[in-house]
Homo-oligomer: A and B are copies of this chain.
Amino acid sequence: MAAERDPEGLAAARPLLTDLYQATMALGYWRAGRARDAAEFELFFRRCPFGGAFALAAGLRDCMRFLRAFRLRDAGSPPHPTGAPIPRAPHALREPPPREPPTPDGRPHPTNVQFLASVLPPDTDPAFFEHLRALDCSEVTVRALPEGSLAFPGVPLLQVSGPLLVVQLLETPLLCLVSYASLVATNAARLRLIAGPEKRLLEMGLRRAQGPDGGLTASTYSYLGGFDSSSNVLAGQLRGVPVAGTLAHSFITSFSGSELPPDPMLAPAAGEGPGVDLAAKAQVWLERVCAHLGLGLQEPHPGERAAFVAYALAFPRAFQGLLDSYSVRRSGLPNFLAVSLALGELGYRAVGVRLDSGDLLQQAQEIRQVFRTIAAQFQVPWLESVPIAVSNNIDEEALAQLAQEGSEVNVIGIGTSVVTCPQQPSLGCVYKLVAVGGQPRMKLTEDPEKQTLPGSKAAFRLLGSDGSLLMDVLQLAEEPVPQAGQELRVWPRGAQEPCTVRPAQVEPLLRLCLQQGQLCEPLPSLAESRALAQLSLSQLSPAHRRLWNPAQYQVVLSERLQALVDSLRVGASP
């Protein structure tokens, strides 16, 4: 797999990736003299997506890129007014922020701060905008669930601390970068669980995504969640996702059969001996194939065959056929066989067929059967196992069909269902203030589901002696770490009584990623995060991993955290 080549990502070029009310709140904090109050926010979700009992944490790499590059001052504007150099992290990315192209009339863009000034009250104190020009993330610290970890309701995916004004401004970008990434990674993980480990899963949803960057995010995090590859070339170029893909119907229908290739000759695979006219050889094979299949020689479409020959001339070692432009049984399949057998004579082996309409499972069984009889008839054993790929609006239910015992489908292309997550197209992450000036904060709205858990917290995952996950514990940051083998009293959320648990292992969940603006360690590669996701899923008990009506995984509070919640609730009562 290639290295990632898009270190900053698109988001990093957009420091104003935010909602207006964060800018208005920034002015509110500043006017109240609270811009630099120490604050901590947590980013989490309240319910697992898709009716399941787990989610995968993802999007952290995009967040780190955004935070490292975050600066409202424009590239050309004066440096930090204190004159202090911008701190450089050991793993800092060295390039300058990408520049916007100028406007069509040649004027430079308004700077970020100029734009904010244009939408805030005209009599706003200029010192506020000076404050914004000096902003960066050099005082921001982030702890996070590593990408590919299992995430559960209420457990922070990110803990973000720093000056109140700046960490408030980060709300929307962090939500935007984490929510969809985690949703699509979780969706991909579900599809992988349904498909089982053997089927190859190809993501092909770029055209159905929310624009180019939506597609890039979808491809990146579908791979992280368990897909094998993507058709999205940008995801290969910029993120190192393995890319795959063959041909579409327009290639087939663009040929009538009357075209004359400039060079119809193909040399043998071994490179020795004279070349042969592939089209002529395919014609010879077509007669044998049609005779064997009981088809008239005129039935297979000549344009489709010409397209296959053209594709085989371009990709003799990677020939694939898309079979359903005209008729699979009467045209696509015999044409594919004729060209494949002609290639086979020259020592090349076709690498696959694809179906994009009709009853995919049934057709795959029939095609495999034809492959077997042709392989036996013409002594070409490799033909038996040519992979069969299918696509066409495949969702979880259709995938379960295609992955069933005895299915002859090998490769499954999924577009819309993976990138748009139609079962639930948003994860609903929130970003909530938990402490300010060292004091815990809690939202006590009358809607119990919207109440938050106060205070700066630590999170641990408790495991049983067999390595399976028992529950996650949230506790106050200053509490001692739970010890393996020791009994712990904890409060399930919403329970009236505590319960006890004796974990065989205890794993800390949140990892220090960014400390005072400095990246603490290099980001793992996408492939490493993908491996972590598969490992994490394997540790989940079958009851929690089940995709429909699973057992709910418990997230519990320490006694001290529960006591803090209770005291803040009582304190708020009139």
Contact = CB atoms under 8 A, between A and B. Distances in A.
B211 A5 contact: no
Interface stretch (A281-289, A322-330, A470-478, A495-503): A322-330
A247 interface: yes
A305 B211 CA distance: 42
A16 B233 contact: yes
A162 B148 CA distance: 44
Interface in A28-43: 28-34, 37, 39, 41
Contact of A445 (B115, B119, B325): B325
A444 B408 CA distance: 26
A261 interface: yes
Nearest to A308: B28
A326 B444 contact: yes
A361 to B, nearest CB: 16
A315 B11 contact: no
A100 interface: yes
Contacts of A112: 237
Interface stretch (A213-221, A527-535, A557-565): A213-221
Contacts of A173: 212
A441 B259 CA distance: 14
Interface in A1-46: 2-3, 5-8, 10-11, 14, 16-25, 27-34, 37, 39, 41
A28 B444 contact: no
B176 A3 contact: no
A488 B9 CA distance: 55
A425 B422 contact: yes
A180 interface: yes
A364 interface: no
A572 B247 contact: no
A77 to B, nearest CB: 16
Q: Chain copies in the assembly?
A: 2
Interface residues of A, number: 147
A103 B93 CA distance: 9
A109 interface: yes
Interface of A: 2-3, 5-8, 10-11, 14, 16-25, 27-34, 37, 39, 41, 62, 93-104, 106, 109-110, 112, 115-116, 118-119, 121, 164, 168, 171-173, 175-177, 179-181, 184, 204, 206-218, 231-234, 236-237, 243-251, 253-256, 259-263, 296, 298-299, 301, 307, 310-311, 313-315, 317-318, 324-328, 330, 357-358, 416, 419-422, 424-426, 428-429, 431-433, 436, 439, 441-447, 450, 572, 574
Given A31-B314, A32-B310, A299-B574, 11 more contacts: A19-B231, A20-B244, A21-B247, A28-B311, A32-B314, A115-B237, A177-B211, A250-B433, A253-B433, A330-B574, A422-B424
18 contacts: A14-B234, A17-B212, A21-B231, A24-B314, A28-B313, A31-B313, A31-B314, A32-B313, A109-B237, A110-B237, A116-B233, A171-B248, A176-B207, A176-B215, A177-B212, A250-B432, A327-B446, A357-B446
